[in-house]
């Protein structure tokens, strides 16, 4: 059973006045089959946690460890982390001009699976996954994220989640910018993957509304670069009522 | 404690775009067109037409010090009906398509011994391309080639440059009334070669030309494709593809002269750059003269900068002297294969080198298809792959 263990993780970014510490000692364990929601106010460091685990070059790890199944994730290149079973659904995925979705998906699947998927089964697999996410077939021939609406970008991220079948999926504000219908569609996609029991999910969100569709086993409140409180689903209900005021200096969340 | 600087050095890039100051195509040149090299002052490098070119790497082509001491092996595959002649400067077809506009072009014109005239007769529709293979064997050579395509003929011409040497040679393409010509010039030189060439096309009534310029090799390559319309209804398409590596200077200067009514032109040039001091220059001059009502023109230059240290100068320049036109536009963009794109692809398990290949293939794919010469498509794709294999 795959386990992601984050221990005392410290991360800083280069700021105008030198390095600024964003993560100040994060401890978290995510096991395959579990769903953890990380909730917190803007600027608390939630996204930094996501991108640091994925290996974005902007973030410098200054302390702590991230271990996936006994392997040191922080020693791996970005692509190695993905092949080891980590997946990050991004809040703002970038455009890749000239590369079609279809080409991109097949290249990724080949890299992750270690061999090119058989063409016939692959085409069927992609088609079904796209239908389930209510994506038009013409989508496959568009360039990656080029001219995509906010909702299309999110569906495309979840499409990859379904096809790449990671051990640990980090969903960074997947709910942001989605209307109710799109949120339901995308959540259903995430739930299909979760139901396999093969993925540990780290759901990063500011709002509780996605938790109506994706039920977490654990809820963590993130504030000022660390986990301030952990609990069960009831903690989300409490946040829904009280907001983040209790966790933020000065009592405001923005 | 670990370092997560996973992005390979050189993945961030800086491209630059220079935009021409307002000035007319003619007055920007330091001398009027002429067949005589003596009519051009020796350039210093500050002249508008020379400001991007490293003169010191021209091996004396610009200052009269280059002498014809080299050798080039020429092979011509001429399909049935196509004639090949060696003629003197006094032949009426030589220089008919255009006059040298800068000192190196005039130098080539003044220095060649015999011009080669390759003629496709009237009404002939060639099943096979005319192939010209020029293989540099070192030293400096001058040349002049005229392709004379008869009325209503259809031909594909592929001129291939390989080997090493310093080559200054102009090309004239005479496209007869109603004729259709695809002219391809491939610069696949060795890394140290120097090549300058002015391509002059003159289009007859309702004639069409597709010019394809592909530059991979050389230390310095400077190609100057130009079109003049001799009568109404002419249509010229210009496609260009270049892959500029560390230290290479590849310059493409286009000039479309819309002097008669109801002609079309369309320019698409795309280049990728990688490595220190890779320098690509694209100049796209389009002039729509007062008489050229009904003109339809569009030009596009796109560059993809793959690494740090490469430089692009892209200067579109559209001058319109009449408002009675169908359309006129230009676009120039230099994009970078940046850290965020690399991160995104790598975060999907794709290794850095494959990620770069994916993006470059995608960048060129449409252009390769537009060229529409099957044998060339395959070669181009292979060549692009090779360039990427060798990437820094």
Poorest-confidence range of A65-74, B131-140, B325-334? B325-334
* Alpha helices by DSSP H, B6-140: 25-28, 103-111
pLDDT digits (tens, 9 = 90+) for B99-144: 999 999 999 999 999 999 999 999 999 999 999 999 999 999 999 9
Examine residue B151 and state whether it is found in any structural domain, yes or no: yes
Residue with tokens 């998906």: A105
Q: What percent of chain A is predicted at pLDDT more than 90? A: 85
CB-facing half-sphere around the CA of B169: CA atoms within 13 A: 26
CA distances to A193, A203, A204, A230 from A218, rounded to whole Å, are: 18, 10, 12, 7
Is residue A3 within 8 Å of A69, Cβ to Cβ?
Answer: yes
Rounded Cα distance, B292 and B255, in Å: 15
Does a structural domain hold residue B266? yes
Question: Model confidence at B339, in pLDDT bands (50, 70, 90)?
Answer: confident
The secondary structure of B322-388 as a DSSP string is -S--SEEEEEEEEEE--HHHHHHHHTTT--HHHHHHHHHHHHHHHHHHHH--HHHHHHHHHHHHHHH
| Alpha-carbon distances, residue B146 vs A114, B77, B95, B239 (angstroms) | 54, 15, 8, 20
B363/A contact by beta carbon, under 8 A: yes
Say how many C-beta atoms besides its own lie within 10 A of residue B339's C-beta: 17
Query: Tens digits of per-residue pLDDT, A26-61?
Result: 999 999 999 999 999 988 999 999 999 999 999 999
Q: What is the maximum span of chain B, computed from C-alpha positions, in angstroms? A: 78
- Could you give the percent of chain B with pLDDT greater than 90? 80
Asked if B7 reaches chain A (Cβ–Cβ under 8 Å), the answer is yes
**In this predicted structure, what is the pLDDT of residue B9?**
30
> Cβ distance B250 to B277 under 8 Å?
no
According to DSSP, the β-strands at B249-258 and B220-229 are parallel
Q: Examine residue B1 and state whether it is found in any structural domain, yes or no.
A: no
Task: Verify whether the Cβ–Cβ distance B346 to A100 is below 8 Å.
Answer: no
The predicted-structure confidence for B356-369, as pLDDT tens digits, reads as follows: 888 888 889 888 88
Query: What is the widest separation between alpha-carbon atoms in chain A?
Result: 59
Could you tell me the CA-to-CA distances from A182 to A149, A254, B162, B277 in Å, in that order?
A: 12, 26, 56, 48
Full domain range(s) for residue B277: 25-338
What separation in angstroms does the CA of A130 have from each of A123, A157, B245, B340? 11, 11, 40, 25
- B345–A103 CB contact, under 8 Å: no
Structural domains in chain A, CATH included, are 3-94+166-251 (3.40.50.300)
| Contact list, A96 vs chain B (CB under 8 Å) | 341, 344-345, 358-359, 362
- Reduce the secondary structure of A138-180 to three states and give it as a string: HHHHCEECCCCCHHHHHHHHHHHHHHHCCCEEEEECCCCCCCH
Confidence at B85, pLDDT banded by 50, 70, 90: very high
Q: What average pLDDT score do residues B29-43 get?
A: 93
- Tell me what the mean pLDDT of segment B295-317 comes to: 94
- Nearest chain A alpha carbon to B337: A96
ipTM score assigned to the predicted complex: 0.95
Q: Considering the domain boundaries, does residue B152 fall inside one?
A: yes
pLDDT-derived band at B265, boundaries 50, 70, 90: very high
**pLDDT greater than 90 at residue A168:** yes
Q: Which among B95, B391, B78 has a CA at the least distance from the CA of B228?
A: B95
**Is residue B346 in a domain?**
no
Task: Please state the rounded mean pLDDT for residues A151-163.
Answer: 96
Least confident of A178-182, B155-159, B233-237: A178-182
Are residues B358 and A107, on separate chains, in Cβ contact within 8 Å? yes
- B247: which residues sit within 8 A by CB, 6+ positions away? B219, B275, B276, B277, B278
Closest CA to A59 of B360, B2, B159: B2
State the Cα–Cα distance between residues A180 and A184, nearest whole angstrom.
6
* Nearest residue on chain B to A112, alpha-carbon basis: B349
Are A61 and B3 a contacting pair at CB < 8 A? yes
DSSP character string of A57-117: TTEEEEEEEEEETTEEGGGS-HHHHHHHTEEEE-SSPPPEEEEEHHHHHHHHHHHHHSSPP
Q: pLDDT-based confidence at B88, cuts 50/70/90?
A: very high
Minimal Cα–Cα distance from B277 to chain A, Å?
25
What residue spans of B47-152 are helical by DSSP H?
103-111
Percent of chain B with pLDDT over 70: 93
Question: Taking CA A60 as the corner, what is the angle to CA A56 and CA A64, rounded to the nearest 5 degrees?
Answer: 110
Instruction: Decide if B350 is inside a domain.
Output: no
- Whole-angstrom CA distances from B28 to A141, B102, B281, B287, B354 are 44, 11, 17, 13, 44
What are the tens digits of pLDDT across the range A96-139?
Answer: 877 899 999 999 999 999 999 999 999 999 999 999 999 999 99
B344 vs A59, A96, A103: nearest CB: A96
Q: Which residue has the tokens 């096991």?
A: A31
Chosen from A79, A105, A161, A168 to mutate, greatest number of chain B CBs within 10 A: A79
CA distance A76 to chain B (A): 8
Q: Decide if B383 is inside a domain.
A: no
- Using CA atoms, how far apart are residues A187 and A171, in angstroms rounded to an integer? 11
Chain B: closest CA distance from residue A118 (Å): 18
> What is the rounded average pLDDT for all residues in chain B?
91
Which pLDDT band holds residue B26 (cuts at 50, 70, 90)?
low
CA–CA dist B181, B194 (Å, integer):
27
pLDDT of residue B10 exceeding 90, the answer is: no
Q: Scanning every residue of chain B, which has its alpha carbon at the shortest distance from the alpha carbon of A74?
A: B2
Tens of pLDDT, residues A103-114:
999 999 999 999
Give residue B7's pLDDT band: very low, low, confident or very high (50, 70, 90).
very low
* pLDDT confidence tier of residue B8, bands split at 50, 70 and 90: very low
Tokens of B181: 């010509």
Tokens read off for B324: 């009675």
Give how many domains chain B has, as a whole number.
Answer: 1
In this prediction, residue B307 carries a pLDDT of 86
Listed residue (B194, B248, B249, B259) closest to B226, CA to CA: B259
Condensed to tens digits (0 to 9), the pLDDT of residues B215-264 reads 999 999 999 999 999 999 999 999 999 999 999 999 999 999 999 999 99
Q: With respect to residue B98, please indicate whether it lies within any of the assigned structural domains.
A: yes
Per-residue pLDDT, averaged over B143-172, amounts to 98
Question: Would you call A79 and B343 a contact, using CB atoms and an 8 Å cutoff?
Answer: no
Which segment of A114-118, B67-71, B106-110, B372-376 scores lowest on mean pLDDT?
Answer: B372-376
C-beta neighbour count of B137 within 10 angstroms: 12
**Cβ–Cβ gap A104/B4 under 8 Å:** no
pLDDT at A166: 97
Average pLDDT over residues B87-104: 97
CA of A88, closest CA in chain B: separation in Å?
A: 7
Handedness of CA B342, B347, B352, B353 (dihedral sign): negative
Cross-chain Cβ contact A94/B352 below 8 Å:
no
The model's pTM is 0.80
How does residue B25 score in pLDDT terms, banded at 50, 70 and 90? low
Angle (CA) B163-B283-B32 rounded to 5° is: 95
């Amino acid at each position: 059973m795959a386990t992601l263990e984050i221990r005392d993780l410290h991360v800083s970014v280069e700021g105008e006045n030198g390095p600024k510490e964003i993560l100040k000692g994060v401890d978290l364990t995510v096991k395959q089959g579990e769903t953890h929601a990380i909730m917190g106010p803007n600027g608390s460091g939630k996204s930094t946690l996501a991108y640091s685990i994925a290996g974005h070059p902007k973030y410098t790890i200054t302390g702590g460890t991230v271990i996936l199944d006994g392997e040191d994730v922080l020693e791996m290149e970005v692509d190695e982390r993905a092949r080891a079973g980590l997946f990050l659904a991004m809040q703002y995925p970038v455009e890749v001009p000239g590369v079609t979705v279809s080409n991109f998906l097949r290249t990724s699947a080949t890299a992750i699976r270690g061999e090119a998927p058989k063409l016939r089964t692959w085409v069927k697999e992609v088609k079904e996954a796209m239908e389930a996410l209510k994506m038009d077939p013409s989508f496959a021939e568009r360039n990656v994220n080029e001219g995509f609406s906010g909702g299309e970008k999110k569906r495309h991220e979840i499409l990859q989640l379904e096809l790449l079948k990671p051990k640990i999926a980090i969903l960074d504000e997947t709910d942001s910018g989605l209307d109710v219908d799109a949120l339901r569609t995308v959540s259903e996609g995430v739930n299909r993957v979760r139901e396999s029991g093969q993925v540990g999910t780290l759901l990063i969100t500011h709002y509780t509304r996605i938790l109506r569709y994706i039920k977490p086993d654990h809820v963590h409140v993130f504030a000022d670069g660390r986990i301030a409180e952990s609990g069960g689903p009831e903690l989300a209900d409490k946040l829904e009522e009280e907001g983040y005021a209790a966790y933020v200096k000065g009592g405001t969340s923005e | 404690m670990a370092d997560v600087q996973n992005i390979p050095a050189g993945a961030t890039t800086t491209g630059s775009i220079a935009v021409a100051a307002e000035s007319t195509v003619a007055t920007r040149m330091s001398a009027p067109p002429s067949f005589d090299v003596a009519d051009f002052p020796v350039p210093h490098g500050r002249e508008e037409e020379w400001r991007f070119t490293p003169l010191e790497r021209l091996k004396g082509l610009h200052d009269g010090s280059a002498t014809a001491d080299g050798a080039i092996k020429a092979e011509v595959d001429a399909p049935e009906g196509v004639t090949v002649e060696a003629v003197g400067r006094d032949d009426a077809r030589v220089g008919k398509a255009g006059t040298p506009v800068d000192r190196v072009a005039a130098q080539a014109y003044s220095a060649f011994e015999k011009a080669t005239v390759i003629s496709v007769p009237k009404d002939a529709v060639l099943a096979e391309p005319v192939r010209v293979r020029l293989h540099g064997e070192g030293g400096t050579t001058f040349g002049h080639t005229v392709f004379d395509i008869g009325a209503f003929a259809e031909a594909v011409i592929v001129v291939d440059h390989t080997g090493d040497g310093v080559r200054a040679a102009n090309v004239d393409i005479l496209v007869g009334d109603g004729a259709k010509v695809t002219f391809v010039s491939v610069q696949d030189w060795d890394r140290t070669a120097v090549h300058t060439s002015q391509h002059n096309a003159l289009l007859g009534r309702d004639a069409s030309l597709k010019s394809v310029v592909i530059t991979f090799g050389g230390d310095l390559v400077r190609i100057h494709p130009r079109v003049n319309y001799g009568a109404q209804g002419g249509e010229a398409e210009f496609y260009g593809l270049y892959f500029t590596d560390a230290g290479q200077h590849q310059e493409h200067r286009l000039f479309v002269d819309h002097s008669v009514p109801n002609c079309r032109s369309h320019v698409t040039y795309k280049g990728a750059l990688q490595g220190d001091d890779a320098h690509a220059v694209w100049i796209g001059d389009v002039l729509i003269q007062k008489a050229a009502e009904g003109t339809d023109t569009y030009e596009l230059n796109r560059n993809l900068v793959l690494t740090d240290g490469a430089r692009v100068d892209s200067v579109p320049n559209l001058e319109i002297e009449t408002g009675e036109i169908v359309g006129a536009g230009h676009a120039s963009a230099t994009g970078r294969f940046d850290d965020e794109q690399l991160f995104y692809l790598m975060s999907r398990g794709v290794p850095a080198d494959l990620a770069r290949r994916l993006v470059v293939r995608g960048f060129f794919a449409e252009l390769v298809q537009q060229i529409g010469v099957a044998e060339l498509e395959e070669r181009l794709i292979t060549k692009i792959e090779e360039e990427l294999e060798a990437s820094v």
